[in-house]
A and B are shown apart, each in its own frame.
Chain A
Amino acid sequence: MIKKELKSNIKSFIICLVLLISVFLLVYLIYPFVITDENMATMNELLQAFPEEVLKAFNMDLASIDTAYGWLKSEGFMFVLLGIGIFSSILGINIVFKEEQDKTIEYLASLPIKRSKIMTKKIFVSVFYIISLIWIFTLFNFIALLISCEFNQKEFFLLSLSPLLIGLPFFFFNLFISTLVKRDKKVLGLSLGLVFIFYIVSMLSEISDKVEFLKYFSLYTLADTRNIIANCEINIWCILISIISSVIFASLSYIFYNKKELL
């Protein structure tokens, strides 16, 4: 079953990996040509015109984009987090639910396998793909940065861990949602919508102290990227909340899936 699940989901994994690597490869390739002293001066002038809040939202108050690593820390990682969030959410909503949508569950449920085992095997494959995506991408960035510029390796590896802190909660949250809903194709749209809402809420919470409380309403807060860039450390609470929320959503998924009407 695991082999079949790996095969069924490899397409979305490759698409996401190629997309992320392509964007970053493009940046690594063009950066040496674009970032000249003259261009940087113009860029800095342009950035000064932006309100501080906007720069904060993209971590550009903490990192200068005069190197590829600087871009990676600011805009680059925002893109990565969004990408991993989308990939994890799609996996979470689809991995079990697609069997119901395609009605293949009628066949799968007739086989001598417990529902909980179906869930376990599907979770295993999904987590494998999420971790693989993050680590292949990290490896790619590491090699590219070694070639391109100097960078803080500890900070880089901590940053590379941050997508996992949001990827797993996004996956398990969506898995849980999928055990609650009936066959309805709108669910995927809702799930992706939630990723963007969390993303925007997280950005808004960075803009002003008045709306800082919004960070408690977004899974993206768990990525803790500002803290990593500013202090080269991950807040232990972000790790704990990420693990605890994943465990809670995973447990609820098992409970609800076991009782769910599959057709």
Chain B
Amino acid sequence: MSSVIELKHLKKYYGESRGIEDVSLSIEEGTIYGFIGPNGAGKSTTIRTMMGLINKTDGEIFLFGKPFDKDDLEIKEKTGYLPSEVNLYADLTIKEIFDYHEEFYKKDLKPRRNELVQLLKIDESKKINDLSLGNLKKVGIVLALMHSPKLLILDEPTSGLDPIMQITLHDILLKEKQKGTTILYSSHILNEISNLCDIVGFIKDGQMIKEDTMDNIKKNYFTYLKISSKDIEKIKEELGLKVIKEDDNTTTFINNLDPNTVINKLAKYNIDNLLIEEVSLEDLFINYYM
């Protein structure tokens, strides 16, 4: 499979202040890539650099295997972009903005447009100016998808959407993936990433700090180990794990040992209660960033 997006040591500085320091990633065709990071980490800067809205300071961008050129119309035709904040022409109606969008593409967008409008329950007669944040987001989603792009770049796509629409969007994206569409999905809402993405890349302070498959992230990292025992002080010494919580009779450890090792080490102690909990992506995220 070939890389649809490839970033090599991408750097962006706004004068003295850092946008991104060193972002390298590679996304293969048909993959949904979760791009995670807290606010200010550099997610939107990375995306805006890829979209040619801002100029990179250093590094390389390849889209569909070609060196980045903001005026490459062939690539632009194959790309759909949903910004985190959807800003459209306030004086137009939704129908007018969809018609306007169609003018830029050589193919007939009507069937896909109608399909998406129905799925997302959009009233095309409304004016952009009168739309709520959620409805504006829905219009943005249709604009990003109606030309059936091969690459979708979504920046915080569910912000403002109600839970039902979030599910609808995820269904749409999973169908897009089945068609072979590559999706870069930027978010700080970790649960939606865990249900949707194949690969997750973590960005912090403008640098990629971790990238792994969703399965590995779920399996291989850490678990929470909750133990209730009179011998808890000895157990702490024996395990050598970080304690994150202690209440009356239960101590919670961050556990990176495999289950057999834990059981072997605990065998000699009197244990009242033992619980191994799978860590949520939320907690994994906090462990990285906090």
Residues of A that sit less than 8 Å from B by CB = 1, 4, 7-8, 102-107, 109-116, 259, 261-263
Contacts and interface: CB of A to CB of B under 8 A. Distances in A.
A262 B70 CA distance: 12
A7 B99 CA distance: 14
A104 B76 contact: no
Given A112-B77, A114-B73, A263-B48, A107 B54 contact: no
Q: Looking at chain B's contact residues, is the secondary structure mostly helix, strand, loop, or mixed?
A: loop
| A-B complex: 6 closest residue pairs judged by Cβ atoms | A103-B87, A112-B76, A110-B81, A114-B71, A112-B77, A112-B73
B76 A107 contact: no
A108 B74 CA distance: 16
B277 interface: no
Nearest to B70: A115
B53 A106 contact: yes
A109 B49 CA distance: 12
Contact-size category for B: 20 to 34
B55 A261 contact: yes
30 contacts: A1-B100, A1-B104, A4-B92, A4-B96, A4-B100, A102-B90, A103-B87, A104-B87, A105-B53, A106-B81, A106-B87, A107-B86, A109-B52, A109-B70, A110-B51, A110-B80, A111-B101, A111-B104, A112-B76, A112-B77, A112-B104, A112-B105, A113-B104, A114-B71, A114-B73, A115-B70, A115-B71, A116-B71, A261-B53, A261-B54
B68 to A, nearest CB: 14
Interface in B20-35: none
Interface in B122-145: 143
B54 A104 contact: no
B255 interface: no
B79 interface: yes
Q: Interface SS of chain A: helix, strand, loop or mixed?
A: loop
Contacts of B48: 106, 263
A154 to B, nearest CB: 43
A107 B143 contact: yes
Given A105-B53, A263-B53, 12 more contacts: A1-B100, A1-B103, A1-B104, A102-B89, A102-B90, A106-B51, A106-B81, A107-B83, A109-B52, A110-B76, A110-B80, A114-B73
B85 A103 contact: yes
Nearest to B79: A110
